[in-house]
Amino acid sequence: MSNISYYTAEGLQRLKDELHQLKAIERPRISSQIADARDKGDLSENAEYDAAKEAQGLLEAKIAKMENLLANARLIDESQVDDSKAYILSRVKIKNLNNNMEVEYTLVAENEANLAEKKISVDSPIGKGLLGKEVGEVAEVQVPAGMIKFEILEINR
């Protein structure tokens, strides 16, 4: 079963760049470490060799995971995003009706979420609650602290 992930052009390029970094720089570096450790003699008692082999295994697993992500990645056509409702790539200004605080988030795919950049995942509790809502609607979101109501103030792209 494939696990399709949606990316912005920027997010997809970042994934490709990271995969290139792992394959072109990290993989040869670890291979060199293994060769250096092998040259030091008896492999049965060579901790440096064991550590390099373990690092290689972890790197190859990470590369395989990223290649799978890339194979299942789909680029979001921003021109097709509906501005009347909150969807992925929407910039949504919301008001917390419990404390009247206003905040603006961009709804993104899970792998592009970054709270410091005010990008929240559409798979997060708040993201799920906002999806499909229009300006003026109230989203009721169940979070660990309880139920929070958010009023949708603005939706932009």
Query: Domain with 131 in it: what CATH number?
Result: 3.10.50.30
- pLDDT of 71 over the 70 cut: yes
DSSP summary character for residue 137? -
Q: Report the range of poorest mean pLDDT among 80-84, 90-94, 129-133, 138-142.
A: 80-84
Q: What is the pLDDT of residues 35-56, one digit of tens each?
A: 888 887 776 677 888 888 999 9
Domain end among 75, 94, 129 = 75
Contact (CB, 8 A) for 7 and 70: no
Q: Go through 97-131 and write b for each residue having 16 or more CB atoms within 10 A of its CB, e for each that does not.
A: eeeeeeeebbbbbebbbeeeeebbbbebebbebbb
Domain end among 60, 75, 90 = 75
| In a shared domain, residues 45 and 87 | no
Range of the domain at 143: 78-156
| In a shared domain, residues 142 and 100 | yes
| In a shared domain, residues 83 and 70 | no
Number of domains in the chain: 2
- Alpha-carbon distance of 34 to 52, in angstroms, equals 6
pLDDT the model gives residue 1: 42
| In a shared domain, residues 90 and 133 | yes
| In a shared domain, residues 44 and 114 | no
Mean pLDDT value across residues 148-157: 90
